[in-house]
Amino acid sequence: MRTLDDLELDGARVVVRVDFNVPLDGSDITDDTRIRAALPTLAALKERGAAQVILLAHLGRPKAREPEFSLAPVAARLGELLGRDVPLADEPERDELGDGPVVMVENVRYFAGETKDDADLAARYAALGDVFVNDAFGAAHRAHASNHGIAKLLPSGAGLLLQREVETLTGILANPGRPLVAIVGGSKVTDKIGVLQAFLERADTVLIGGAMCFPFFAAQGIGVGSSLCEEAGIEPAREVLANAKPGQLRLPTDLTLGRSFAADTETQHVDGVETPDGWMGLDVGPKTAAEYAGIVESAGSVFWNGPMGAFELAPFEPGTRAVAEAMARTQATTVVGGGDSAAALTQFGLESQVTHLSTGGGASLELIEGKRLPGVEVLS
Ligand code: ADP
Ligand code: MG
């Protein structure tokens, strides 16, 4: 993969694709992490003499030029962070771009052909600068005009954020510290089956938590009550059980149950994994939490995707908290992917205690599964 080191940046106008897909409440940005995550690349470009940086980004999924998806609040916030105005152009045209070292173009999803990787649109983007840098890891699993088509038309390379994501995520697969422990939880087995399979091939131990465990229990004929248990996940779970090496796959041995998915619901712990009718499993139990934390602490490297329970609800937080705290304590390389897993770490104030917190949900899972990311491939 080409990086900033492979590009002629001195005096260049650099088109940079960034991931500024921030959560908005009206026009208020409720979390500007993604904007701040682009600052190191912008600083590096400045240091290497770039004449102008032209930012391309998407926001939400507008079907046309819908004003609520304008990047205006993002340009304003970036301007505050940089301490200078960031002009926003309506169209990807050279003579519409504002002056100044950093300028932006409106939401790329406003332009017909963006998500179809349209060659004419890519050529319009390419005409904005001399060099292309892709720093939008979160969009790298899509081949769109602003991250794929343009890269074929200009000298191009990865920005610092994208480079770090790819190197860390492929590193934990290719050359992990041993033992490698993978923790897979969350709510949808069918979304994560590829990740599970990738880790069955490489990890010494795979810990299952969250609602992921119920298709595994159902496949073994264990009652799941009204737990969230994806029907379509049962067959893949059966295959995973059949393919795992002895002792490699760990399932919870106790559970915390609730009557419903609510913070004020009646709860009980069961020492065992049979969920009675009228109850749902909403967290791993204390015994499992302690056991998983111990395994994390003696790991050489850990990859975690998916919370151990419904951590948003106070009674079902402890399992996820125990694993997160073990991740924070250990000296092992710790990599976290997934939006809710990141939200859990933030809820516990531990987001800076892991080695790498991936910014790209779908992209990080696809990379772990061994899929090729078009936005990355095109840079090699
Ligand atoms: P990530 O975004 O980290 O990939 P997911 O989106 O797969 O994670 O899963 C997160 C969601 O899973 C959370 O909203 C959490 O409440 C839910 N969840 C975890 N365990 C359970 C459970 N036992 N029952 C129902 N929901 C659960
Ligand atoms: Mg999620």
- Ligand 1 pocket, 212 CB below 6 A? no
Does position 118 have pLDDT exceeding 90, yes or no? yes
Q: Give yes or no for residue 188 having a pLDDT over 80.
A: no
208: exposed, middle or buried (Cβ count in 10 Å: 0-12, 13-18, 19+)? buried
**Catalytic residue selected from 34, 124, 164, 321:** 34
- Return the pLDDT at 28: 95
Q: Minimum-distance ligand to the CA of 189?
A: 1
Among this protein's residues, is 34 annotated catalytic? yes
Cβ of 187 below 6 Å from ligand 1: yes
Residue 289 pLDDT > 80, yes or no?
Answer: yes
Mean pLDDT of the 305-310 span: 97
* CA 37 to ligand 1 center in whole angstroms: 25
* 38-68 pLDDT per residue, tens: 999 999 999 999 999 999 999 999 999 999 9
User: pLDDT digits over 163-180, tens only?
Assistant: 999 999 998 888 999 999
- Give yes or no for a contact between 190 and 236, defined as CB atoms under 8 angstroms apart: yes
Determine the Cα–Cα distance for residues 309 and 313; give it in Å rounded to an integer: 9
| CA of 214, closest atom in ligand 1 | 23
The pLDDT tens digits for 93-116 are 999 999 999 999 999 999 999 999
Residue of 194, 300, 362, 370 marked active site: 362
211 lines ligand 1 (CB under 6 A): yes
CB of 347 within 6 A of ligand 1: the answer is no
Q: Output the residue whose Cα is nearest ligand 1's atom 11.
A: 186
Q: For a substitution probing ligand 1, which of 265, 340, 341, 359 has the most ligand atoms within 8 Å of its CB?
A: 340
Three-state DSSP string of the chain: CCEHHHCCCCCCEEEEECCCCCCEECCEECCCHHHHHCHHHHHHHHHCCCCEEEEECCCCCCCCCCHHHCCHHHHHHHHHHHCCCCCEECCCCHHHCCCCCEEEECCHHHCCCHHHCCHHHHHHHHCCCCEEEECCHHHCCCCCHHHHHHHHCCCEEECHHHHHHHHHHHHHHHCCCCCEEEEECCCCHHHHHHHHHHHHHHCCEEEECHHHHHHHHHHCCCCECCCCCCHHHHHHHHHHHHHCCCCCEECCCCEEEECCCCCCCCEEEECCCCECCCCEEEEECHHHHHHHHHHHHCCCEEEEECCCCCCCCHHHCHHHHHHHHHHHHCCCEEEEECHHHHHHHHHCCCCCCCCEECCCHHHHHHHHCCCCCHHHHCCC
pLDDT at 190 (0 to 100): 86
Q: Edge-to-edge, what's the strand order for the sheet holding 205-208? A: 249-250, 205-208, 180-184, 301-305, 333-337, 356-357
Active-site residue identified among 188, 238, 259, 287:
188
Among the bound ligands, name the one nearest to the CA of residue 343.
1
Average pLDDT along the chain: 96
Instruction: Identify the band that residue 191 occupies on the pLDDT scale cut at 50, 70 and 90.
Output: confident
**Residue located nearest, by CA, to atom 18 of ligand 1:** 310
Please indicate whether residue 65 is annotated as part of the active site. no
The residue ranking higher by pLDDT, 159 or 197, is 159
